[in-house]
Amino acid sequence: MPSFLRLHTAKLLALLLVANSLLLLYLGAGEWKPTEQWSWADIAGEGGAAVLVFVWLCLILNSRPAGRITTLLSLGLGLMFVAWWVDALDEFIQLPEGINWDHWLESLPMASGLLLLTYGLFHWHHEQLAISGQLQKRERLLREHRYFDHLTPLSGADYLRQQIAQCQQAQQGATPVSLVALDLDGFDSINQRFGHREGDAVLQAVSQLILLNLRNQDLLCRLAGDRFVALLPGTGETQAGQLARDLADALRHFAYHTQQHGERLQLNATTAVVMAMNESPEDLLQRLQLALCRARQPLALQA
Amino acid sequence: MSFYERDSGIIEAQGLPLTLLDLCLQRGLHGDRVLRGTRLFMDDLIQRNPRISQEQLLQLADNAERLLDSSDSAFLLGQRLLPGNLHGASQLLSQAPNLFSALESLVEFAPLLSPLLSPRLVVDENYGYLYWLDSCGTGKQWRFLLEASATAVAAFSRRHRGEHLPWQFHFRHSRPPYIEQYWVHLGETLHFDQPCDMLRVPRQWLFEGIKPAGISHQVALQQARQQLQTLPAPRPLLVAVYHHLEQQLKQPANHRTLQLESVAESLGMSPATFKRHLKKHGTHFQQQLDLARLHTAIYLLRSQGLGTEAVARQLGFHDSAGLRRSFKRWTGSTPSSVLAL
């Protein structure tokens, strides 16, 4: 995983600079309170808030690429940090009577920080809607990053199991639910001839190709290795069979070129279709596996 | 009888260790994190190809499994394991005239080709059976290594023959939650909760020749033998112990001499030293003896067609009830369940 933090070193440095100058300003204008005047509850509360806001800022920066929304969020959190920082400095340094800019230093950054953060969050929501649109066919109503596949932009078998169960529950047998499995033929020989990195690239390309050929309500997962499974809600076996043939055709006509020398690879797949009966996701997947073995059989006999 | 231990440097770092490291790098892991605690360094590994110990390789496998954190790691590793990238031994596998010859080479050159789990091959009139011995105290790594080794054999034999082989897989463990990995990387015939971990294939698949053994096969065999001779000993401690026990169990009269003392003597050390060595490998004498007796019992029942009475006598039990009791303890099931395999 790339870390985004190094994209934002300038922002963090600027914040540290501001915090440092405020410290110097306070030291210049006021003087240290003796230890017995320290209010430990206030120090813990205000100092702790400053530390937490800083942690949030780091987490946000580390998980986002640079951009407008990132800038808004970090400005907002940065100002909130400054406000609490000044608040905490108050506890250690006594400013002489007649100075009132310190109140401004506390409330102005806090108010503007909160406003900027709210504005940033609002835009983040819109960004998230756009990203969810791009994830269509790859997730259905539930997001759980622990189920993401490590290689392709799809989810894995566990997410599929969950979604099968959910889909069956939602449909209550009113409309049929079908599964299509697609297994690449001769994937191992691609790995052997061109290396495993090329094999990975093939899987990534194939997952995009299948996504393009699915309908909006369908869900595609990578079951394992070179085997993909699509969950088709509201689809009977005949229609699913047609979709499976379309997918196999699309793959046959897909002009894949290797990354190194641009060599054209001919891809083929074996497909299988099952319609969900009144059974557990595990049994359904087992039946799909059997159907796929049966579809493979003629291949074994040919060889 | 000579043997090497789990901390002797015998494994070429640019063999299996590099394959494992490469898989990790391909999945975006940092090399230094994968090598942490192995006393190995990236530059060293690439420039010098040091010999590393089983212990170091186990640490590397542990790191890799933890950091890859994915149910397909063992299977991806398995796909890359055989024939491997060693001079001689790997070529020997690729050049083998038939699958039997390839598997025989895998067994003979296990210290080079499969340094952690030591494969064993048994062929009877119906089937060829392949199973593995823990050659270094793999502990909780056993499952990961077993899945990788089984995948390696299935993938290698498919490439070698150019078609899918009807391997049948038997595992001691129960059906795992990530069963889809087994379907895709191993095949359809899977049995769980079995008395022992093994795979088998109908005999004719082993001997149908693909090509006659050429001169290059001879050359590779010579090279592999030379490689094997550069090791401090031909086999790891636990395999040497197993081998000795197995030999003794095959001769019915000898079972009474199967005491820790006599085995220690034949390995050329004192009983106390022997015990210490076994402890270092995470096991003890009784465990090793039970394992050899279990495998022998399965072999006699299944391949030799002996009755429980005869098997019990050969293994040194008073009667078949004694064998049944022990069998239950070793595997959780009865001797007759072996016949249903």
ipTM: 0.87
CA A5 to chain centre: 17
Nearest C-alpha neighbor of B123 from the set B282, B302, B313, B256: B302
Strand partners, A183: A227, A270
Higher pLDDT, A264 or B337: A264
Tell if the CB–CB gap between B184 and A227 is shorter than 8 Å.
yes
Cβ-nearest to B159 among A188, A196, A225: A188
CA distance B51 to B231: 10
Which chain B residue has its CA at the smallest distance from A189's CA?
B159
Q: CA nearest A73: which of A132, A115, A126, A22? A: A115
Q: Would you call B75 and A290 a contact, using CB atoms and an 8 Å cutoff?
A: no
In whole angstroms, give the CA distance from residue B255 to residue B241: 15
Q: Do B181 and A197 touch (CB under 8 A)?
A: no
Which among A112, A214, A224 has a CA at the least distance from the CA of A158? A224
Question: Do residue A271 and residue A173 come from a single domain?
Answer: yes
Closest CA to B296 of B326, B265, B260: B326
**How many angstroms away from the CA of A6 is the closest CA of chain B?**
17
Q: For residues B140 and B62, what is the distance between their CA atoms, to the nearest angstrom?
A: 9
Looking at the structure, do residues A120 and A165 belong to the same domain, yes or no? Answer: no
- Residue of B167, B183, B190, B201 to mutate, testing the A interface (most A Cβ within 10 Å of its Cβ): B183
What is the tens place of the pLDDT at every residue in B242-255?
999 998 888 766 55
Mark whether A75 and A193 lie in a shared domain.
no
Helix (H) or strand (E) holding B200: strand B198-202
The percentage of residues in chain B with a pLDDT greater than 90, rounded to a whole number, is: 67
- Please tell me whether residues A10 and A126 are part of one structural domain: yes
Render the burial of B16-37: b for 16+ CB within 10 Å, e for the rest. bbeebbebbebbebebeebbee
Q: Are residues A149 and A116 in the same domain?
A: no
* pLDDT class of A37 with cuts at 50, 70, 90: confident
Note whether A188 contacts B: Cβ–Cβ < 8 A.
yes
Number of domains within chain A: 2
SS3 content of chain B, % helix, strand, coil (to 5): 55, 10, 35
**Res B59 pLDDT > 90:** yes
Residue in B180, B181, B184, B205 to test binding to A, most A beta-carbons within 10 Å? B180
Residue where a domain terminates, one of A134, A159, A181: A134
Give the pLDDT score at A150.
Answer: 78
**CB interface of A with B, residues 134-173, below 8 Å:** 150-151, 157-158
- Mean pLDDT value of segment B87-92: 90
pLDDT of the residue at B266: 87
Sorting pLDDT into bands at 50, 70 and 90, what band is B341?
low
**Nearest C-alpha of chain A: how many angstroms from B185?**
7
Hey, is the C-beta of A285 within 8 angstroms of any chain B C-beta?
A: yes
Three-state DSSP class for B209? coil
CB-based contact, A276 to chain B, within 8 Å: no
Residue B173 phi/psi, 5-degree rounding, is: -75, 165
Q: Does A301 touch chain B (CB under 8 A)?
A: no
B24 or A152: whose pLDDT is higher?
A: B24
B261-267 contact pairs (CB < 8 A, 24+): B266/B1, B267/B1, B267/B3, B267/B240, B267/B241
Mean pLDDT throughout A33-46?
Answer: 88
DSSP line for chain A: ---SGGGGHHHHHHHHHHHHHHHHHHHHHSEEPPGGG--HHHIIIIIHHHHHHHHHHHHHHHHS-SSHHHHHHHHHHHHHHHHHHHHHHHTTEEPPTT--HHHHHHHHHHHHHHHHHHHHHHHHHHHHHHHHHHTTTT--S---GGGB-SSSSSB-HHHHHHHHHHHHHHHTTSS-EEEEEEEETTHHHHHHHH-HHHHHHHHHHHHHHHHHHS-TT-EEEEEETTEEEEEEET--HHHHHHHHHHHHHHHHT--EE-TTT--EE---EEEEEEE--SS-HHHHHHHHHHHHHHHHHHHHHH-
Res B261 pLDDT > 50: yes
Q: Can you give the pLDDT at residue B202?
A: 94
Q: How far is CA A121 from CA A7, A64, A66, A143, B326, in A?
A: 20, 13, 15, 19, 67
Q: Does B44 touch chain A (CB under 8 A)?
A: no
Q: What is the pLDDT of residue B255?
A: 56
Q: Is residue A140 part of a domain?
A: no
> How would you classify residue B81: left for phi > 0, otherwise alpha for psi between -120 and 50, otherwise beta?
alpha
Could you tell me the CATH number of the domain that includes residue A290?
A: 3.30.70.270
User: What pLDDT does B109 receive?
Assistant: 95
Q: Quick check: A224 and B184 CB within 8 A?
A: yes
The whole-number pLDDT of residue A39 equals 87
Structure tokens at B290: 């039970």
Q: Check pLDDT > 90 for residue B138.
A: yes
Q: What is the pLDDT of residue A133?
A: 78
Interchain CB contact of A13 with B (< 8 Å): no
Provide the mean pLDDT of chain A. 89
Question: What CA–CA distance (Å, rounded) separates B308 from B323?
Answer: 8
The C-alpha atoms of residue A219 and residue B185 are separated, in whole angstroms, by: 23
- Calculate Rg over the CA atoms of chain A: 29
Contact of B258 with B292, CB cutoff 8 Å: no
pLDDT in tens, A188-222: 999 999 999 999 999 999 999 999 999 989 999 99
Is there a single domain that holds both residue A154 and residue A247? yes
Instruction: Please report residues of A whose CB lies closer than 8 A to that of B201.
Output: none
**Quick one: pLDDT at residue B85?**
87
Residues A182 and A265 in one domain: yes
The SS3 call for residue B182 is helix
Nearest CA in chain A to B165: A300
pLDDT in tens, B150-181: 999 999 999 988 888 999 999 999 999 999 99
Are A166 and A121 contained in the same domain? no
In contact, B97 and B210? CB cutoff 8 Å: yes
> What pLDDT, on the 0 to 100 scale, is given for residue A301?
46
pLDDT at residue A2, rounded to an integer = 55
**A105 shares a domain with A51:** yes
In a domain, A139, yes or no: no
State the average pLDDT over residues A105-123.
93
Residue with tokens 């008073």: B318
Cis peptide before B83 (omega within 30 of 0): yes
According to the model, what pLDDT value does residue A152 have?
83
**Closest alpha carbon to A145 in A130, A156, A132, A134:** A156
| Nearest residue in chain A measured CA to CA from B164 | A300
Instruction: Among A134, A155, A177, identify where a domain stops.
Output: A134
With a pLDDT cut of 90, the percent of chain A lying above it is: 59
Taken in order A70, A75, A80, A81, is the CA torsion positive or negative? positive
Q: Which of A158, A223, A299 sits opposite B184 (nearest CB)?
A: A223
**Residue A1 pLDDT exceeds 80:** no
Phi, psi of A32 (to 5 degrees): -60, 140
Higher-scoring residue by pLDDT: A37, B276? B276
Which residue type, as a one-letter code, is found at position B257? T
Put simply, the answer to whether A224 touches B80 (Cβ < 8 Å) is: no
Angle between helices B73-81 and B54-68 (to 10 degrees): 130
| Identity of the amino acid at B264 | A
The answer to whether residues A87 and A214 belong to one domain is no
Residues B282, B141: Cα–Cα separation, whole Å = 12
Question: Which range marks the domain in which residue A201 is found?
Answer: 145-302
pLDDT (mean) for B272-294: 93
d(CA A39, CA A46): 11
Q: Do A200 and B185 touch (CB under 8 A)?
A: no
Identity of the residue in B158, B164, B180 whose CB atom sits nearest the CB atom of A224: B180
What is the distance between the alpha carbons of residues B310 and B316, in angstroms, rounded to a whole number? 10
Q: What is the pLDDT of residue A303?
A: 36
Last residue of one domain, picked from the residues A105, A134, A163: A134
Domains, in order of start, for chain B: 7-69 (no CATH), 74-231 (no CATH), 237-339 (1.10.10.60)
Sheet with B127-134: strands ordered across:
B117-123, B127-134, B198-202, B168-170, B190-191
Residue A266, domain member (yes or no): yes
CA distance B27 to chain A (A): 8
The residues pairing with A229 across neighbouring beta strands, listed in sequence order, are A181, A221
What is the per-residue pLDDT across A267-284, written as a single tens digit (0 to 9) for each? 999 999 999 988 899 999
Task: Bin B180: left if φ > 0, else alpha if -120 < ψ < 50, else beta.
Answer: alpha
User: Measured between CB atoms, does A99 come within 8 Å of chain B?
Assistant: no
Residue A20 lies in a domain: yes
In a domain, A78, yes or no: yes
Q: Average of pLDDT values for B278-292?
A: 93
Claim to verify: residue A110 and residue A159 sit in the same structural domain: no
Partner-chain contact B79 A188, CB within 8 Å: yes
Nearest to A197 among B26, B70, B178 (CB): B26
Same domain, A154 and A294: yes
* Closest CA–CA distance from residue A191 to any residue of chain B (Å): 9
